[in-house]
Structure 1
């Protein structure tokens, strides 16, 4: 596969990252409207509930992108060491400035948060799964770190990693959907993350990358039909609040991500404007994700009293624009300049 094809695939996925990021911004912003301004609108509430599934999309994308991009680097010199350094830099360099800032704020001004969480300094500074991080959205980074570290097995043996994924999936199912779920050790934060059903979404991304890398093709009609079925099922469950089993709606949306990514890759000749707004948002997704929650909380808290849906929409648009604009500036400083500088010193 040519480097141009690889770049094109990843560009398309950046568009998905941008959409997922905006979903999460809406999720938290609509929650703040409800909390600070008592805005309760059925449609906005539904949009807010749907926004949280942007995280599920991120997890499937992460599993895919790491598997897909690493495939071309296994035979490079210092591949394993560079992989670890790249992943740690990618997570911690943008995270630590805002993570430390929020830890300081909540330590000095505990009433600043509209939640009632007990903050763990250890988790806030290291992302080690011990307690709650000061930056609320950082809980997802512990899952990202878990997958990245486990994926490093593949650098020593791809076969061992494939077998591990199968056994890992089996243990996740057993520890969540059988009498094994009552085991006391699962209450320990580390094990609750290791065997969380969220990891199934990373595994779905890994499986999708394998299908693409091995050039296993499915009929386009089958892919579109699969997407339609999971979309209808997801919509039905979210509207009627039907629960078939724990985490079922999240997994349905993960399948929406699975089929959407697969279809997008099948349409890999799609032309993308590299300076397009959505692609810029996609590139800055991580930074937008990191800064948006404290930002939206401050903006909506200080917003003039909102009493109408029109006012709520103005507030949402304001938050989206500020999150994208400030997030992009944050990205330029910490993701482009800082990471590039550190990579030049640390990556062989």
Structure 2
């Protein structure tokens, strides 16, 4: 299928409406990470039969994952739009995106696994690991393959992030490859329609539910919000954003986290409205964010990774010490410490690692001045963003 050049020109042309900063993204990342953290704390308290009216308010916290997916669609488009159809930029793109995922994930999952293995030997009566450790399982967790199991339970979402990065990378390699993401989007919608009418999908294969997951639509919603805020001047009233927030929290009261299509409606669409509202307010200088929230947004990935095992260890340790009356209070204090610690780890470890990766000159096999596989298709030399706009 041929993708007309004028469509790519419309996609990549510049606009004065482009958001001048991404503070709204940083702040929303922080909120999403806190929502997920508090949700997992509430779930842990339920397993220990500790009931807290305060934690009951965060039953919708799992929607923070949906917000992360929307943010990913927005920010990847924001930072890489001009790279479309520039195959010589593909290695740099993959280095930055995959480095952002794996650089801090690998040492974190290693330390978490060692800690839980040690605790399993120290207190074998407690179930520290919920799955057997075997070479195949470890390899799947290291690479973040779909359906992997990890000592960091939240990493199932990273498989979707990598999937999205790869799909966007295809369009960077060549505009002709846009047909692949479009096919996946169409197949996802058709699968959803089939489910709505109680029909089975037209075809099934291993990882079908992953490749055609409704979560794909949330990345697309993020892309849509980006183009909306970039090309249009508009205002979203506070009442509309407040209604979207209300719908977001109401959804968590009504649905189960496994009902993905309902999540798209109850979290994805309201989350997109919230993001569009925040960005539009930022464009018109109608909002400011506290410095601590922006810093937490920068460190949100680390907080997202580490909070589950640490909450689990603290809770089970206090239960063994018969301190159940203080578990909730201790965990709230712990979350504050985790927020501060995540910022310190981001500042002292994650940022230096990412900076080192950024300056390293990686030369994957098959890449030179242009993407080898694409050059065999005779697409020719990649054009600059200026030529893409003016042709």
TM over 0.5: yes
**Greater share of helix:** 1
Deviation of 1:334 after TM superposition, in Å, equals: 3.2
Task: Check the 8 A contact 1:99/1:135 in 2, yes or no.
Answer: yes
Cross-structure match for 1:193? 210
Cross-structure match for 2:337? 322
For structure 1, which runs of at least 5 residues remain unmatched after alignment?
none
CA distance in 2, matches of 1:97, 1:76: 33
Q: Does 1:169 align with 2:185?
A: yes
Q: 1:246 to 1:90 in 2, by over 3 A?
A: closer
Q: 1:251 to 1:15 in 2, by over 3 A?
A: same
Cross-structure match for 2:279? 265
Match of 1:51 among 61, 81, 89: 61
SS at match of 2:360: helix
CA distance in 2, matches of 1:143, 1:88: 12
Deviation of 1:57 after TM superposition, in Å, equals: 0.7
Q: Does 1:155 align with 2:172?
A: yes
Larger-gyration structure (1/2) = 2
Deviations 1:215-242 (A, max 9, x none): 1344535x953x4554444444444559
Cross-structure match for 2:295? 280
CA distance in 2, matches of 1:74, 1:156: 7
Cross-structure match for 1:255? 269
SS at match of 1:71: helix
Cross-structure match for 1:39? 50
**Residues 107-256 of structure 1 aligned to structure 2 (within 5 Å):** 113-114=127-128, 116-118=130-132, 120-129=137-146, 131-158=148-175, 160-161=177-178, 163-178=179-194, 179-181=199-201, 183-185=203-205, 188=206, 190-213=207-230, 215-218=231-234, 220-221=236-237, 225=240, 227-240=241-254, 247-256=261-270
CA distance in 2, matches of 1:307, 1:103: 26
Deviation of 1:173 after TM superposition, in Å, equals: 2.7
> Aligned residues, how many?
334
SS at match of 1:346: coil
Cross-structure match for 1:81? 91
Deviation of 1:41 after TM superposition, in Å, equals: 3.7
Cross-structure match for 2:23? 11
Cross-structure match for 2:72? 62
CA distance in 1, matches of 2:161, 2:65: 11
Deviation of 1:330 after TM superposition, in Å, equals: 1.9
Match of 2:35 among 2, 23, 31: 23
Task: Check the 8 A contact 1:85/1:346 in 2, yes or no.
Answer: no
* RMSD, aligned α-carbons: 3.3
Q: Does 1:337 align with 2:327?
A: no
